[in-house]
Chains A and B, each alone.
Chain A
Amino acid sequence: MRSFRLADWQWNVLGALVIIGAWQLYATFANPFFIPSFTRVLSELWTYIVTGAIAEALGHTFLLLIVGLVLGSLVGVPLGLFLGVNQRLGDILAPYIQAAYATPRIALIPVVIIFFGISTPGQIVLVFLQCVFEILIATEAGAREVSGQFVEVARSLRLSRLKTFVDVILPGSFPYIVSGLRLGLSNAFIGAIGAELFMESAGMGELVRFASQSFRTDRVIAGVIVLSLVAVVLITGMRLWERRVQGWRTETFE
């Protein structure tokens, strides 16, 4: 007997086909309010795309995502480098940073609303809070690791403090910073959708919320599929970048 052999991706596709087939079959007999059929979801998704609803909604979501992530990096990266190099200060502040990191920042929405309002600026603040600690902690870990490893070498080569920072700490920490940005990005995405769902309605959050309030489960699922795809594309892109900048760590002797 010949054994049944498939590559991983073939199993992935096969698995997806089986699940979609089962879904479609079940939905033909079920109440479409609870389980809309796969083809129904696809047709709603298509309508969203051709009417430009998706593009418009993603525009707002990406605005929150990008501005929040940029602000998070502008604060997280320099602060992380500073605390990684000045380790005593880093040690003393560590419990506070860890506490902030462990707190579900979605819970801060009421506070953010009071200070910054419910519309786009307040939403950006939420996205910022959602990603800044990830970026800060990864950067600090990198700078700490690199300075521990190289500070004596740099001193023995008589590098100035500035040159040590620019030519040792910065390039050495870069792969860690990119990892922090990847973690920050996935968290910022959660923050952006959370902001659009629980603060002023806008973007993809509004699209999903509106579909949900009109009891259109098919449209809700269509919206969620878009969110998953966007997340997968963003994270994969970041992973590729991460792998690229970490090239010198993984290159092996040939």
Chain B
Amino acid sequence: MTNTGHAASAAQKVTARDVRKVYETRGSQGAPKEVLALDGATVEVRAGEFVSLLGPSGCGKTTLLKIIGGLIPSTAGDVRVDGAVVREPSRKVAIVFQNFGLFPWRTVLGNVEFGLEAAGMPTKERRERAKEYIDLVSLTKFTHSHPSQLSGGMQQRVGLARALALRPEVLLMDEPFGSLDAHTRELLQFELLGILARTQATIVFVTHSVDEALVLSDRIAVFSPSPGRIIETLSVDLPHPRDEAVKSLPRYAEMREHIWERLRPPAVAA
């Protein structure tokens, strides 16, 4: 197959077209069973863009993210990063997980340099690189602590440092603040914007929070409930850099109302 079909989308960093995913699970007695998670989802992300996948739980947004990350195969559809079909985790892509995914027996430093270690980077170099990103997420004091000694918000900053230390071109974030309390969550959202301003990474961000998506994103892909399809993709035309004040803009309220309208389930017939 030639490249002509995709030449037009040279600026597209990530493309996912008509992605379908059927999970084969095993029900009671271990009998095979099929579950449709994604029913033809399409999303395109330009280089340097921050796109959120927004939808209710169980809509398949995390599934789509994992397919883009090469962690699970799609049943049908075309998923590419930089024009190359995704078959396994790519060195251009890093992932931040909802439950942090930190290795509890490794220190903060050990966690952040793990990916670099696997890539075969010499000890001295990877140690310097890891420390640079630990500084970036303001955890210098905790370099030699174990994850269990850190609060949830700090643990996710380690997760972020570990992903960024790989210097990915694409950063996939799976509800990274989903398990944090509301206060920590808001602080980290703005901290994330500050950190990302210093990288060129393209971001795909999964969330079920309308506000989180609005504050962070350039564009939002809104999912229908299970099985997932993307029902609308909208540009967030709010000014940058964003801080708490953005939430009091009339445009913010307008977009928020619009998205809620789209997410509302169809009225139940009386």
Contact = CB atoms under 8 A, between A and B. Distances in A.
Nearest to B152: A253
B149 A252 contact: yes
B103 A160 contact: no
Contact of B97 (A153, A160, A168, A248): A153
A152 B105 contact: no
B176 interface: no
A252 B89 contact: no
B66 interface: yes
Contacts of A158: 89, 91, 115, 118-119
B114 A157 contact: yes
A239 B115 CA distance: 34
Interface string A148-180: 011011011111100100011001101000000
B71 A248 contact: no
Contacts of A8: none
Interface residues of A, number: 24
B94 interface: yes
Contact of B101 (A150, A172, A248, A254): A150
Nearest to B96: A156
Among A250, A251, A254, max chain B CB count under 10 A is at A251
B221 to A, nearest CB: 21
Contacts of A91: 30
Contacts of B95: 152-153, 156
A171 B93 CA distance: 26
B69 interface: yes
Contact of A171 (B69, B105, B149, B151): B105
A156 B94 CA distance: 7
A91 B150 CA distance: 36
A97 to B, nearest CB: 16
A158 B118 CA distance: 7
B146 A251 contact: yes
